Amino acid sequence: MQKAFVILILFISISCVYNRQDVNYTNISTGIMGLVIDENNKPVPNAFVYLYRTPSSGLIGPADFMEKTDEKGNFLFDVPEGKYYLVVRKRISGLDSGPLRQGDRVTNYQKNPIIVTPNEIKKIKITLPSRTLILSKKMPSGE
């Protein structure tokens, strides 16, 4: 019974995070705001954008921050000042994590690292290619 209750609470918490409808841009003074597009300059909805504080992981595995793009390809991170490495992934499965599979799309932001200073919202635009060749487990670090 207790295990079922914990699972229910976890499910509700995750649902609330992923189903939020609007982001209050006015309350954020420091962070990263961006747009994910495809090669035809069309927005990419439901892609996952990951921020890593360091490239030591090869920019794979659990990220320090994660957001999902909205239906217009927009995302927003409310993060403190610092240096960040940004990666975008869109898996065929629709999941936010797991091993990359053939057909999944992934790209590193070419201008990594992103330096965020106090009271600044960095604005970026990143193109997610329609095809990604998966050669190895490690992604380029951006440095």
pLDDT at residue 20 tops 70: no
pLDDT given at position 28: 86
Among candidates 75, 85, 82, which has minimal Cα distance to 111?
85
pLDDT-based confidence at residue 25 (cuts at 50, 70, 90): low
pLDDT-based confidence at residue 73 (cuts at 50, 70, 90): very high
Assigned token pair, 117: 């200073």
pLDDT digits (tens, 9 = 90+) for 46-67: 999 999 999 999 999 899 999 9
For residue 55, is the peptide bond before it cis, meaning its omega torsion is within 30 degrees of 0? no
